[in-house]
Amino acid sequence: MALLRLIPDNTKLRFMWLRKYSFPFSALVAVASLALFFTVGLNYGIDFKGGTLIEMKTDGPADIGAVRSRLGALNLGEVQVQEFGAPDEVLIRVEQQEGGELAQQAVIATIRTAFEGEVEFRRVEIVGPRVSGELARAGSIGVAAALVAILFYIWFRFEWQFAIGAILTTFNDVLVTVGLFVLLQLDFSLSSIAAVLTIIGYSLNDTVVVYDRIRENLRRYKKLSLPDLLDRSINETLARTTMTSVTTLLALFALYIFGGEVIRSFTLAMIFGIVIGTYSSIFLAAPFLILFNLRSGGSAPGDAETGAKDAGPEPGTA
């Protein structure tokens, strides 16, 4: 089993010293993500924007430029054409048409007629504006409800400093992940909402593991300074955090490579979210407790053994 150990036992890394770099860096990335969101905006998929989505397969490698030109001559409004997975697969997006579902069906019939006998139509989807609006609203409510539930759960299980730290850490992960969608103009659909909710759960799990060890050590090492206690707690959970992230990423990389184009944006968001969630649980979640003055705000519940004799050597000391 020693061959599988990525992180040695009894590491003594001083993570709290790095908070003077991790806080500004994270704030900068979060602000940049917000700026991208409000200036560039998300590339909303058919689920949220409404319209027609057509996937077709050609006999050989598709000429995207030629397909785009032929569709442009049909006067269908905004049309997006892209290679979808294999070189012979094409994905066509047509904007929402005035006139409701009948107009959408007319668009499909027009495209089928234009390419009849030349391609295989593999998928056709129509999403109306009412349905897309309801989906967008439900997705937003789902993310907001998850964040509120996290706040109350952590507050009930730990203390208010832990609750605020967890919600800020998780919100940062969500914000930066959304920033990735904007930066790369990934298709933001219902599967993207599922990815964000999964990232929230993963980030919270990592944060709770670290916080639980901090709570235990607050009971044990009452004479240890808070930065040193936080360093000790993170080092004690570092092997578990790293191994969990690596094994999860291995599965996600396999999905990204072999899962096909349909779930590629979902998988990429998950990979990015796991990396960000691991980073934030180490470099943000615990340092927030120093920012909120955990010691003066109230000690951890429980009166376990005390004394410097239990503290042992501090991280970073011989």
Domains of the chain: 8-43+132-311 (1.20.1640.10), 51-127 (3.30.70.3400)
Given this model, what pLDDT does residue 318 score? 39
**What distance in Å separates the CA atoms of residue 93 and residue 129, rounded to the nearest whole number?**
15
* Cα–Cα distance list, 228 to 287, 304, 307, 310, 314 (Å): 11, 19, 15, 14, 6
> What is the number of residues in the chain?
318
Bridge partner list, 79: 94
Band of the pLDDT at 307, cuts 50, 70, 90? very low
What is the average pLDDT across 18-32?
93
- Higher local confidence (pLDDT), 156 or 36: 36
The pLDDT value given to residue 259: 79
pLDDT at 270: 93
Structure confidence at residue 29 (pLDDT) = 95
- Band of pLDDT at residue 1, cut at 50, 70 and 90: very low
Q: Is the predicted pLDDT of residue 9 greater than 70, yes or no?
A: no
In this predicted structure, what is the pLDDT of residue 302? 40
Element (H, E) at 135: helix 129-157
- Candidates 311, 239, 290; CA nearest to 5 is 239
DSSP-assigned beta bridge partners for residue 221: none
Give the pLDDT confidence score for residue 280 in this predicted structure: 93
> Which pLDDT does position 297 carry in this prediction?
36
* Mean of pLDDT over the chain: 82
- Continuous segment of H or E residues that includes residue 119: strand 119-127
Beta strand pairing call for 89-94 and 119-127:
unpaired
Evaluate if residue 252 carries a pLDDT over 80: yes
Three-state secondary-structure class, residue 313: coil
Neighbours of 77 (CB within 10 A): 12
Listed ranges 7-16, 32-41, 94-103, 197-206; the one with the highest mean pLDDT: 32-41
pLDDT at 38 over 70: yes
- Check the CA dihedral 10-13-19-25 and report its sign: negative
Is 56 or 85 the better-scoring residue by pLDDT?
A: 56
Other C-beta atoms closer than 10 Å to the C-beta of 83 total 15
Q: What residue type is assigned to position 210 of the chain?
A: V
Percent of the chain predicted with pLDDT > 70: 86
Q: Can you give the pTM of this predicted structure?
A: 0.73
Q: What is the pLDDT of residues 122-171, one digit of tens each?
A: 888 887 666 666 777 887 888 888 778 877 887 887 888 888 898 899 89
Distance CA 222, CA 57 (A): 67
Residue found by looking up tokens 């490579």 in the block: 257
In the predicted model, is pLDDT for residue 298 greater than 60?
no
At residue 251, the pLDDT reads: 93
In the prediction, which pLDDT does 6 show?
A: 58
pLDDT at 7: 63
Amino acid at 72: G
Q: Left, alpha or beta for 316 (phi > 0: left; psi -120 to 50: alpha)? A: left
